[in-house]
Amino acid sequence: MIAARFFSIKNWEKFVNIKQELIELKEQRLDFQRRVDDLAEKLKLEAEKREYLEYEITKLGRLNTIGQLAAGLGHEIRNPMTTIRGFLQMLQSKSDLHTYKSYFELMIEELDRANLIITDYLSLVKDKPVEFKRLCLNKLLDDIFPLILADAYTQGKKCVFEPGKIVELEMVSNEITQLVINLARNGFEAMPPEGCLTINTYMDAQSIILSVKDEGKGIDKEHISKLGTPFFTTKENGTGLGLPMCYRIADRHNALIDVKTGPDGTTFLVRFPKPIE
């Protein structure tokens, strides 16, 4: 009887020890599982980052090749166009051709539009060395805001600018002006009358961010990957050169453009890296 009790207490101790070991093993297993989950999450993020970078690289590569080709072409086409425009203007003023006046006007308008496309394209692909200066983005936005407001008013839309606390940036002011105007114009064009465009600036640990937010219908899912491709447009009179220009300018400033879009509108975020002091 005593031996049996003794035996069972020993067994009990063994049982407790095993149980303890089991608990520890279970904790270790959970710990391993957590680490595996963490690593899997990190891996997923890295894969997404890689996919995004590959996409950006392809886009930039495509932009470069097409750009160089078109730059040469653009220059060549402009000269004969100027000649044609001159003759059209001369013919337009002839009294015996007065009945065709509206046709001449239309032809000249179309030529001017073609010229505008070429001008936009050339400024997109120009690779002239430009001067970077340390400037305040808020000051630049303040200066060009009347221009943006004028754009808004002609379309019956509103626009607000909310400057945040940011540090100065190395930039080429007329390029950034062009970028903001292009993003703002797209925002206005995407909104119904009375819509309001919000431009604001802020800072996080790594970047200075310029945000241009509209209250439009958003961008169709199948169009998102095409943003920034030269000549991609969904507008009847669009050139599809505004965004490529923005991407190009952002790239020259080592900035990245993020797009957030949904049925309530679209936000373009331009992230400039914080300058090293």
Selected binder of ligand ADP within 151, 175, 214, 215 (CB under 6 A): 214
242 binds Mg ion (CB under 5 A): yes
Nearest distance, CB of residue 182 and Mg ion, angstroms: 6
**DSSP codes of every residue in the chain:** -HHHHHHHHHHHHHHHHHHHHHHHHHHHHHHHHHHHHHHHHHHHHHHHHHHHHHHHHHHHHHHHHHHHHHHHHHHHHHHHHHHHHHHHHHHHT-GGGGGGHHHHHHHHHHHHHHHHHHHHHHHHH-------EEE-HHHHHHHHHHHHHHHHHHTT-EEEEE------EEE-HHHHHHHHHHHHHHHHHHSPTT-EEEEEEEE-SSEEEEEEE--S----HHHHTTTTSTT---STT--S-HHHHHHHHHHHTT-EEEEEEETTEEEEEEEEEPPP-
178 binds Mg ion (CB under 5 A): no
Nearest distance, CB of residue 220 and ligand ADP, angstroms: 8
Q: How far apart are the first and last CA of the chain?
A: 84
Between residues 138 and 182, which has the closer beta carbon with respect to ligand ADP?
182
Nearest distance, CB of residue 154 and ligand ADP, angstroms: 16
Nearest distance, CB of residue 43 and ligand ADP, angstroms: 33
Do residues 78 and 115 lie in contact, with contact meaning Cβ atoms separated by under 8 Å?
Answer: yes
CA angle (251, 74, 241) in 5-degree steps: 40
176 binds, among ligand ADP, Mg ion, none (CB under 5 to 8 A by kind): none
179 binds, among ligand ADP, Mg ion, none (CB under 5 to 8 A by kind): none
Report which of 194, 159, 151, 178 is spatially closest to residue 270, judged by C-alpha positions: 178
Nearest distance, CB of residue 214 and Mg ion, angstroms: 12
239 binds ligand ADP (CB under 6 A): yes
Listed ranges 58-66, 142-150, 163-171, 233-241: which one lies at the site for ligand ADP (CB under 6 A): 233-241
235 binds, among ligand ADP, Mg ion, none (CB under 5 to 8 A by kind): ligand ADP
Residue nearest to ligand ADP (CB): 242
x/- string (CB under 6 A) for ligand ADP, residues 150-189? --------------------------------x---xx--
Listed ranges 13-21, 41-49, 171-179, 240-248: which one lies at the site for ligand ADP (CB under 6 A): 240-248
Do residues 271 and 209 lie in contact, with contact meaning Cβ atoms separated by under 8 Å?
Answer: yes
Listed ranges 66-74, 158-166, 234-242, 269-277: which one lies at the site for Mg ion (CB under 5 A): 234-242
Selected binder of ligand ADP within 141, 190, 209, 249 (CB under 6 A): 190
Binding footprint of ligand ADP on the chain (CB under 6 A): 182, 186-187, 190, 214, 216, 219, 223, 227, 232-235, 238-243, 266
